[in-house]
Amino acid sequence: MSSTEQRSDHVTVFDTTLRDGEQAPGISLDVSEKVEIAEQLARLRVDVVEGGFPVSSQGDFEAVRAIADGVGTEREAPTVAALARCNREDVERAAESIKPAHSQRIHVFLSTSEIHRHAMLRDASEDDVVAQAVEGVKRAREVTDDVEFSPQDATRTDLDFLYRIVEETVAAGATTVNIPDTVGYALPHDFGATIGEIVRRVGGPDSDVAISVHCHNDLGLAVANSLEAVRNGARQVEVAVNGIGERAGNCSLEELVMAVRTRNDLLGRTTRVYTPEIARTSRSVSGLTGYPVQYNKAVVGRNAFAHESGIHQHGVMADRLTYEIMRAEDVGVAGSQIVLGKHSGRRAFVGELERMGYDLTAEQVSRAFERFKELADRKVEIADNDLEAILADEVSASSDEAYEIADIEVSGGTVAEPSATVRLRRAGDGVEATETATGDGMIDAACGAIRRAVGIDATLASFNVNAVTAGVDALGGVTVQVEVDGQRFTGRGVSTDVVEASARAYLNALNKSVRLRHRRQEPVTATP
């Protein structure tokens, strides 16, 4: 059975973290980060991974291509989807990007609401829009027999016109029609009724054509609307990990999946998602995007399984079901396990990586092992969360870093002015640059010294620190967003020392901007 073959009780989980999720303000994932998230989505067993919008940039094209060539070729691979408008160039670019994947989908979209037709399609008439949509679907069908069409802003589209465009794109060959609530305007009962009518018009819940929904969260109703659609016969839901996406975000993967699972008694539907991987996926996406997960976020927030009041604690100690409707272990937040220590050797380390499902290059393993040994000198017990954090750090860092930190020294504090001296080593020729800077605090000083050594003008746009595990010797994970020439780059770093973690994150972000300049062949000029 192919990964998207439908049965009426199965809900296809179409993940758009790497496309719509990445459109959230300030998120910018490079190729290796997108590939890392796609690998995790494959472990989570989503049905479809929408890797990006290939025509929008060379980076997006390369990322979708790398995903199609990587997880897209594995056994039981998810379908790899690419977004395209209906024109020839978009569809060709999308087709090229997904070529290596076993199972390929082109997702074409076009605006249909009156306001979008006037403001974005130069007053295109309904007939023009139908003609373009039909042409887009036919073009995509020349390349793959798995084609999805989305009438953008469907929930503000005249209903008769919406039904017409659904029927005409199905006749043109669309195998999935996705109904996007682009601006998060729908209310559950009304949206459900519309989906029910569309499902009826395409031949019912067991038709060859699947109806999908893509709900935004502007009124906080994305999950509720998606569930109501499922109740009314939708066979696919489009979701993003941690609910990231344009503005208030998309329907949250973890909430939707756990609602379908927990209330199977009412919904009678299932997904193929391997839920114990949910927490790890959430951490990975949060770390790589720099978007923190709110403490009280359903399913994956740090308080989702925490009980504060005495009465609740008493109840949970007697029987967890008194105050919990899901088991923490079912979503992978059962607590971090101690896996290694100071005396663990390389063999145990590699065995642990394999158990956790990592497939790293020999170079990545060597670098990660070095980091593990350094960490083991400072921290008695290494938990799986620690390993995950240093691996993520190494995977993003080892993909062709321009500079690495050879040494860092900080001094000063509340009385003396904070100062930092940083020695950086350039990859390739090994040339070193040492710079010193002062700042408002030690982190500021370290970032200033790095900026000088790399020779780039950069502004820190956001800074986020969190503890990877509990305890005074916990690893600190830092995510920063840095602006260089009007463009944002996300960097991350981990260490038991928060200044070092910050310096690593800052350098990781600057390295990305250096790489981009190299690709564009621009010289890196030192700031005075």
Burial 478-494 (b: 16+ CB within 10 A, else e): bbbbbbbeeebbbbbbb
Distance (Å, whole) CA 326 – CA 333: 11
Least separation, in Å, of the C-beta of 438 and Zn ion?
45
Q: Name the residue nearer to Zn ion (CB basis): 222 or 279.
A: 222
The residue within the footprint of ligand KIV, chosen from 51, 78, 180, 439 (CB under 6 A), is: 180
DSSP 8-state assignment for residue 161:
H
Closest CA to 275 of 319, 344, 198, 327: 327
| Range in contact with ligand KIV (rule: CB under 6 A) among 178-186, 217-225, 319-327, 442-450 | 178-186
Within residues 289-348, the interface with ligand KIV by CB under 6 A covers: none
Q: Name the residue nearer to ligand KIV (CB basis): 113 or 479.
A: 113
Q: Name the residue nearer to Zn ion (CB basis): 223 or 442.
A: 223
* CA dist list (Å): 247 to 153, 184, 213, 218, 352: 15, 10, 18, 7, 39
Least separation, in Å, of the C-beta of 111 and ligand KIV?
8
Burial 394-418 (b: 16+ CB within 10 A, else e): bbbbbbebbbbbeebebeeeeeeeb
Within residues 111-170, the interface with ligand KIV by CB under 6 A covers: 150, 152
Binding mask 27-66 for ligand KIV (x = CB under 6 A): ----------------------------------------
Place of tokens 């938990």: 383
| Range in contact with ligand KIV (rule: CB under 6 A) among 57-65, 128-136, 177-185, 340-348 | 177-185
Half-sphere exposure of 11 (CA within 13 A, CB side): 30
The residue within the footprint of ligand KIV, chosen from 14, 61, 109, 349 (CB under 6 A), is: 109
Q: Name the residue nearer to ligand KIV (CB basis): 179 or 331.
A: 179
| Range in contact with ligand KIV (rule: CB under 6 A) among 35-43, 163-171, 175-183, 396-404 | 175-183
Least separation, in Å, of the C-beta of 252 and ligand KIV?
15
| Contacted by 277, from ligand KIV, Zn ion, none: CB < 5 to 8 Å by type | none
Give yes or no for residue 214 binding ligand KIV (CB under 6 A): yes
Q: Show the DSSP H helices in 121-262 as ranges.
A: 126-143, 159-172, 188-201, 222-231, 253-262
| Contacted by 150, from Zn ion, ligand KIV, none: CB < 5 to 8 Å by type | ligand KIV
Give yes or no for residue 236 binding ligand KIV (CB under 6 A): no
> What's the N-to-C CA distance of the chain in angstroms?
62
* CA dist list (Å): 120 to 23, 115, 160, 463: 19, 8, 21, 36
Give the number of residues in contact with ligand KIV, rule: CB under 6 A: 9
Distance (Å, whole) CA 434 – CA 452: 9
Give yes or no for residue 182 binding ligand KIV (CB under 6 A): yes
| Contacted by 109, from ligand KIV, Zn ion, none: CB < 5 to 8 Å by type | ligand KIV
The amino acid sitting at 303 is: N
Least separation, in Å, of the C-beta of 182 and ligand KIV?
3
Q: Name the residue nearer to ligand KIV (CB basis): 180 or 493.
A: 180
Q: Can you give 257-308 as a three-state secondary structure string? A: HHHHHHCHHHHCCECCCCHHHHHHHHHHHHHHHCCCCCCCCCCCCCCCCCCC
The amino acid sitting at 203 is: G
DSSP 8-state assignment for residue 24:
S
Q: Judge residue 355's burial from the number of C-beta atoms within 10 Å of its C-beta, 0-12 exposed, 13-18 middle, 19 or more buried.
A: exposed
Least separation, in Å, of the C-beta of 90 and ligand KIV?
12
Within residues 10-29, the interface with Zn ion by CB under 5 A covers: 20
Burial 497-525 (b: 16+ CB within 10 A, else e): ebbbbbbbbbbbbbbbbbbbbeeeeeeee
Q: Name the residue nearer to ligand KIV (CB basis): 20 or 384.
A: 20
Q: Name the residue nearer to ligand KIV (CB basis): 150 or 225.
A: 150
Give the number of residues in contact with Zn ion, rule: CB under 5 A: 1
Give yes or no for residue 15 binding ligand KIV (CB under 6 A): no
**What contacts 347, CB < 8 A, 6 or more positions away?**
none
Q: Name the residue nearer to ligand KIV (CB basis): 202 or 387.
A: 202
Q: Judge residue 226's burial from the number of C-beta atoms within 10 Å of its C-beta, 0-12 exposed, 13-18 middle, 19 or more buried.
A: buried
| Contacted by 152, from ligand KIV, Zn ion, none: CB < 5 to 8 Å by type | ligand KIV
Q: What is the CA radius of gyration of the chain?
A: 24
Let me know the angle formed at the C-alpha of 225 by 221 and 229, rounded to the nearest 5 degrees: 175
Q: Name the residue nearer to ligand KIV (CB basis): 150 or 495.
A: 150
Least separation, in Å, of the C-beta of 245 and ligand KIV?
8
Least separation, in Å, of the C-beta of 23 and ligand KIV?
8
Distance (Å, whole) CA 145 – CA 35: 25
Least separation, in Å, of the C-beta of 148 and ligand KIV?
9
Q: Name the residue nearer to Zn ion (CB basis): 238 or 401.
A: 238
Q: Name the residue nearer to Zn ion (CB basis): 14 or 489.
A: 14
Q: Name the residue nearer to ligand KIV (CB basis): 157 or 396.
A: 157
Distance (Å, whole) CA 517 – CA 235: 44
Determine the residue with CB nearest Zn ion: 20
Distance (Å, whole) CA 226 – CA 139: 29
| Contact set with Zn ion (CB under 5 A) | 20
Residues in contact with ligand KIV by the rule CB under 6 A: 20, 109, 150, 152, 178, 180, 182, 214, 216
